[in-house]
Amino acid sequence: GQNIDQPTEMTATEGAIVQINCTYQTSGFNGLFWYQQHAGEAPTFLSYNVLDGLEEKGRFSSFLSRSKGYSYLLLKELQMKDSASYLCAVRDRGSGGYNKLIFGAGTRLAVHP
């Protein structure tokens, strides 16, 4: 089956570093995405990993280990505006051979002063 797990809530302090973990089980893995979603808004793309290793993009980095079914999103120099939900999504090759995104429930991050 397909399953994606990530913590429900996290809190962190402004200026600090936070790591949001995501574990997944899927039969046809074809890439992992991280999205940010502020309350009442649409998700926005943060990062994409398809090969093992770390992808860095400014204050955000994402890591993938395909053998462990594991990814994390690292946020550095936290700002108040980073308070949002962070969605881990796996692109899975469906039975028809085409890809679909399967989302985790999201991690709600609260950044406080």
Kindly list the residues in this chain that would bind other proteins in the complex (CB under 8 A): 30-31, 33, 35, 41-45, 48, 50, 87, 89, 91, 94, 96, 98-106
Question: Where is 65: in which H helix or E strand?
Answer: strand 60-65
- Minimum CB distance to other proteins, residue 100 (Å): 5
Nearest by Cα to 12 from 89, 61, 88, 84: 84
Half-sphere exposure of 4 (CA within 13 A, CB side): 22
Nearer to other proteins, 20 or 87 (CB): 87
Torsional sign, CA 91, 35, 62, 65: negative
- Minimum CB distance to other proteins, residue 28 (Å): 10
- Minimum CB distance to other proteins, residue 49 (Å): 11
Nearer to other proteins, 73 or 91 (CB): 91
